[in-house]
Amino acid sequence: MAIKEFKTYILDMETVRPHQLSMTTITSQAIIVGRAIDEDGTEGWSEVANIGGISYGEQTPEAIKINIDTYLAKFVIGREAKDFNLIMHEIGHAAKGNNYSKAVVEGALIDLAARQKGIPAYELLGGKIHNSIPLAWTLASGNTERDIKEAKELLAIKRHKIFKLKIGTGDPDANVEHVRKIIEAVGDQAKVTVDINQAWDEDTSVRCIKKLQDYGVNMVEQPVPVWNYEAMARLTQKFDVPIMADESSTYIHDCFLIAKHRAGNCIALKPCKHGGLLETKKVAAIAEAAGFGLYGGTMIESSLGSAMALSVYSTISAFEFGTELFGQFLYKDRITVDELQVKDYELIIPDKPGFGLEVDVDKVKFYARDFY
């Protein structure tokens, strides 16, 4: 059944508390939702997010939408969703960059193709290997005591026992002290990792990672700016604690060079960053060949985008650092009728058709800047 319409919405979703990263503090985040409708009225839905408008990724929410609507949607009209690999191949040749836009288009095609066949999307991506993946939570309230309280509550309800601390804002020594206090409070029950989101230079990284390693941090994510692959390589060489490439690992070509030069020794996957679920699998294969540990990353998508990412993560062999698809818990509301389930600290892979969650169209209408 051919696709007759492709729609793109921008939704503004409020968070339950401020979420502080080195480059911005999120209280409301724009998510971008794709909707492919076939001639029978069957729908495929997708979602990506981009943190802080223009402060994190290179595509703004507005650019993601306009580039889909103007340049990419025409590739899917009149086509069969099951041809998503061919369609994305064509789009890959016709459009440079714009990975977030590509991920939205591809996701809606895959969800639709799976729903047309009545199967989970992971069946179209090779089939699932995992039934669940350990789920990390990001402590980023901007206040050490509040983070400790939050971590203890989440441990008590068995939702998370991996905590990623967002640091890099303000004085680096104060950042390190914040991490020390959290490890002192919950380090015997949980793994603690840190994400600096490019905020430190190499000298600061050398000085601070030494202390973080001594305190027992389990992984250090993107300490230096994207462009500084050489510093990433020296830090990887210098420390035992794993150094994760996040912002610096976008295209398959970046990942190949990171692997070749050991500019990091683990990789955060994110479908929006790589340009879709198929590209995510390619990045994962390069990382696997390099012997890297993987992390099932998020750009803090809500339940729909998390289910989309989870569909491909379920097909990838191993996640040494688990996944951080916690987005549905950070938003005050959701745009799906149901949500992803967590049991004993693990996110369960849904087995229903498509990405496994039903979209609540009235909620999309309510939160969309423009619904049509």
The contact set with ligand MUC (CB under 6 A) reads 21, 138, 140, 166, 195, 197, 246, 297-298, 300, 324
Query: Alpha-carbon distance 99 to 248, whole Å?
Result: 14
Q: Return the number of the residue (79 or 273) whose C-beta is nearest ligand MUC.
A: 273
Torsion region of 170: left, alpha or beta (phi above 0 gives left; psi -120 to 50 gives alpha): left
Using Cβ positions, the residue closest to ligand MUC within the complex turns out to be 138
Write the burial class of residue 80 (CB in 10 Å: 0-12 exposed, 13-18 middle, 19+ buried): middle
Q: Which does 110 bind (CB under 5 to 8 A by kind): ligand MUC, Mg ion, none?
A: none
Q: Which does 324 bind (CB under 5 to 8 A by kind): ligand MUC, Mg ion, none?
A: ligand MUC
Closest CA to 179 of 150, 217, 218, 206: 217
Write the burial class of residue 87 (CB in 10 Å: 0-12 exposed, 13-18 middle, 19+ buried): buried
Q: What are phi and psi of 57, to 5 degrees?
A: -85, 170
Q: Return the number of the residue (26 or 105) whose C-beta is nearest Mg ion.
A: 26
Nearest-approach distance from CB 300 to ligand MUC, in angstroms: 5
Catalytic-role residue among 166, 191, 273, 281: 166
The single residue among 43, 195, 301, 346 that binds Mg ion, judged by CB under 5 A, is 195
Nearest-approach distance from CB 179 to Mg ion, in angstroms: 15
The single residue among 43, 111, 246, 324 that binds Mg ion, judged by CB under 5 A, is 246
Total of chain residues touching Mg ion, rule CB under 5 A = 3
Nearest-approach distance from CB 165 to ligand MUC, in angstroms: 10
Closest CA to 164 of 326, 365, 23: 326
Query: Segment near Mg ion (CB under 5 A), from 41-49, 58-66, 180-188, 219-227?
Result: 219-227
Q: Which does 138 bind (CB under 5 to 8 A by kind): Mg ion, ligand MUC, none?
A: ligand MUC
CA 77, 38, 304, 117 torsion-angle sign:
negative
Torsion region of 264: left, alpha or beta (phi above 0 gives left; psi -120 to 50 gives alpha): left
Nearest-approach distance from CB 120 to Mg ion, in angstroms: 28
Q: Return the number of the residue (61 or 297) whose C-beta is nearest ligand MUC.
A: 297
* 150, 338, 339 from 333: Cα distances, Å: 19, 12, 11
Q: Return the number of the residue (79 or 160) whose C-beta is nearest ligand MUC.
A: 160
What single-letter amino acid sits at 331? Answer: Y
What single-letter amino acid sits at 33? Answer: V
181 a catalytic residue: no
Give catalytic residues, as residue numbers: 166
Residues that bind Mg ion (CB under 5 A): 195, 221, 246
